[in-house]
Amino acid sequence: MNILHIDCSPRPGAHSRKLSMAIVERLLEVSPGAGISRRDLAFHPVPHPWPDYATALSSPATLATPPPGSLDVSEFLIREVEAADVIVVGTPMNNLTVPSVLKAWIDQVLRAGRTFRSTPAGKVGLLRDRPVLVGIASGGTFAGDRATQPDFLRPYLSAVLGSTGLKTLHFLTVQATAFLDEDQAIVAREQALATIDFKCFAEVPCPGCIG
Ligand SMILES: Cc1cc2nc3c(=O)[nH]c(=O)nc-3n(C[C@H](O)[C@H](O)[C@H](O)COP(=O)(O)O)c2cc1C
């Protein structure tokens, strides 16, 4: 099994980093031989769309003959996704949704004719489905009965990744981090991890786990 492990928080001791690392550790327990590719979007951000890239994506004609080199970053990042059997993302909630470094990655990975096809009925994904485990840290509460703010993060990620064919998303949350001491944060992380049956991610996943 190959794991693509993505982090987005600029804080070294971040809750989302600890959560994504714990997810990877649980995966390694059930698949000890798994390989890990690392993409740290906070410390090594991918570029926001630049003129040549935006020009390439502006029409089917420009996508067919893009400016030289304009799709190289996109292609590299898409191949990382394609090489993964499981994707683990650790991300903060920033202003109700994903941080801009994750949005920049999404802007490279969603590419017409490569990861999705546009049809009159909407986008059709061209990537093989595989599990995406998303560990979210938020200063306040956005899910459950005690939510105090809207959640544009989970629906957004489900929509954009789903449009590429990545439809099997699992969200784990550590919420209200602004009010957690270290012990409470550990408990919150364990509770988040307990929502997932990691046996489903063993080297040979059970059929019900995918798609
Ligand atoms: C720019 C910025 C925007 C934020 N927006 C929100 C928000 O909309 N909702 C929320 O609950 N917390 C928000 N926070 C707080 C973070 O989600 C919280 O500190 C979280 O623990 C950060 O993740 P990390 O611990 O993995 O770094 C924001 C933090 C920053 C820096």
| Euclidean distance between CA atoms 51 and 35, whole angstroms | 35
Cα 49 to middle of ligand 1, angstroms: 24
Cα 127 to middle of ligand 1, angstroms: 30
Interhelix angle 182-193/15-30, nearest 10 degrees = 40
DSSP string of 75-126, one letter each residue: HHHHHHHHH-SEEEEEEE-BTTB--HHHHHHHHHH--BTTTEEEETTEEEE-
Cα 93 to middle of ligand 1, angstroms: 5
171 in helix, strand or coil? Answer: strand
Q: Exposed, middle or buried by CB within 10 Å (0-12, 13-18, 19+), for 21? A: middle
Cα 61 to middle of ligand 1, angstroms: 40
Q: Which residue has the tokens 């650790």?
A: 90
Looking from the CA of residue 97, the nearest atom of ligand 1 is 8
Cα 177 to middle of ligand 1, angstroms: 8
Which residue from 11, 17, 18, 93 has its CB within 8 A of the most atoms of ligand 1, so it is best to mutate?
93
Q: Which residue has the tokens 């798609």?
A: 211
Q: How much is the pLDDT for 209?
A: 61
Atom 4 of ligand 1 has which residue's CA nearest to it? 94
Ligand 1: residues with CB < 6 A are 9, 11, 14-17, 92-96, 137-140, 149, 177
| Euclidean distance between CA atoms 3 and 198, whole angstroms | 14
Domain boundaries, the chain: 2-209
Q: How much is the pLDDT for 173?
A: 98
- Percent helix / strand / coil, the chain, rounded to 5: 40, 20, 40
In CATH, 2-209 is 3.40.720.10: no
Looking from the CA of residue 8, the nearest atom of ligand 1 is 26
Looking from the CA of residue 176, the nearest atom of ligand 1 is 11
Looking from the CA of residue 177, the nearest atom of ligand 1 is 21
pLDDT tens, position by position, for the chain (211 residues)? 999 999 999 998 999 999 999 999 999 999 999 999 999 999 999 999 999 999 999 999 999 999 999 999 999 999 999 999 999 999 999 999 999 999 999 999 999 999 999 999 999 999 999 999 999 999 999 999 999 999 999 999 999 999 999 999 999 999 999 999 999 999 999 999 999 999 988 876 566 665 4
Q: How much is the pLDDT for 12?
A: 87
Contact 108, 26 (CB under 8 A): no
Q: Token digits for 92?
A: 């903060």
Residue 92 has phi, psi (to 5 degrees) of -75, 160
Contact 163, 123 (CB under 8 A): yes
170 in helix, strand or coil? Answer: strand
Beta strands 116-119 and 122-125, pairing class: antiparallel
